[in-house]
Each structure stands twice: as C-alpha cells, then as structure tokens.
Structure 1
C-alpha cells in the first residue's frame, strides 16, 4: 500500500508518495492544493500502472555488458 500526503509549505503545497514503510518514493510542490492533489494522484496512478520492478535484474544485465565489452 502506498500513502499520499499533501501539506502546506509557506506559499505552496508539497505532496509526497510513500510506501508502507514510510520510505519517500516521490515528492513535488505545486502552487495550489487542487494542483498538488492532481499531481500526487497522477504519480500514484503511474506507479501502480508500471507495477513493481524486479530488484537488480536490469543492473546485473548492464554490469555484464560492461565487463564483456558487448553493447
């Protein structure tokens, strides 16, 4: 589960998306609260649409190419 947070910061509104452990995944700042809510839910939708990425799968492939000299 992911958490979305919108709060006022000086003259703007800051938004954050965090995972269930409280780790910050994405954040941003907008001038109005509706704009901040739109951006946070847009970001959440995009993260859910992409789905989870396998850990280290792509990084291992890039390391192998660098060591063997293949492109």
Structure 2
C-alpha cells in the first residue's frame, strides 16, 4: 500500500482564482441579501478583500457586511 500526502502550493494543481470566482458566483445566487450589490461587484470586492487568501474570511465577510450594509 502506498501512502502519500499531496500539497498544492501557489496554485500548481488548483486554479484558486477560478475556483474562488465560481464559488462566489454560486454563493451570490444562494444568498438573496447579496443581490443588491450586483454579482460582478460582489465577486470583485470579495477578491480584493481576500488578497489571495491572506485575509481571514471572517474579516472579508465582516467588511462586506459593513460596506454594503448587508
């Protein structure tokens, strides 16, 4: 039996930007409160705040809630 651990560093195996955008588009459709922002505006602002994953998601969501009064 072969055991292995696989790490994806810096988007080698997974395109984080595309995956995040797809997730956010689906989230936008599921959360009616986001509709007032507009889909593209939501995705763009989330990605800006996220800073390639270096900002905790609770901080990103809290900022969006405050900025857009969600």
Q: Normalising by structure 1, what TM-score?
A: 0.30
Which structure: greater helix fraction?
A: 2
Which structure: greater strand fraction?
A: 1
Question: Which of 1 and 2 has greater Rg?
Answer: 1
